[in-house]
Amino acid sequence: MDWGIDIEKINCATKQISEYRKSLKKGFNLIIKTIANVLTQWTGKTYVGAPKEKDLQNAFQNFFVEIFALAQDIENSVHSTRMQMKFLECARYQGDLYRYIGSDSPFEQCKRVEYNEIYVSWSKAKGNSYVLSKLYNPIYLLSAKLSGEFYGFDIELFDKIYNRHFHKHLMIARGTEREVVFPTVKNAIVKIQEVKDDVEVK
Q: Give Cβ neighbours of residue 110 (< 8 Å, ≥ 6 apart).
A: 49, 101, 102, 103, 135, 138, 139, 140
CA angle, residues 127, 129, 131, in degrees to nearest 5: 95
Please state the pTM of the whole predicted model. Answer: 0.89
What is the distance between the alpha carbons of residues 120 and 184, in angstroms, rounded to a whole number? 7
Give me the pLDDT at residue 46, please: 64
Q: What is the average pLDDT value for the chain, to the nearest integer?
A: 87
- Alpha helical stretches, state H, the chain: 7-20, 28-44, 54-76, 82-90, 129-133, 155-165
Name the more confident of 17 and 4: 17
Of the listed ranges 87-101, 111-125, 148-162, the one predicted with least confidence: 111-125
Give me the pLDDT at residue 202, please: 41
Is 99 in a helix, a strand, or coil? strand
Looking at the chain, the whole-number percentage of residues with pLDDT higher than 90 is 62
Give me the pLDDT at residue 61, please: 97
Packing angle, helices 28-44 and 82-90, rounded to 10: 20
Q: How confident is the model at residue 4 (pLDDT cuts 50, 70, 90)?
A: low
Q: How is the beta sheet containing 95-103 ordered, strand by strand?
A: 153-154, 179-183, 119-123, 95-103, 136-146, 189-194, 199-200
Q: How confident is the model at residue 201 (pLDDT cuts 50, 70, 90)?
A: very low
Q: What is the pLDDT of residues 123-163, one digit of tens each?
A: 999 877 777 767 777 888 999 999 999 999 999 999 999 99
Judge whether 165 and 133 are in contact, CB under 8 Å: no
Q: What is the pLDDT of residues 52-78, one digit of tens each?
A: 788 999 999 999 999 999 999 999 998
Q: What is the pLDDT of residues 14-38, one digit of tens each?
A: 999 999 999 888 899 999 999 999 9
CA angle, residues 96, 86, 175, in degrees to nearest 5: 55
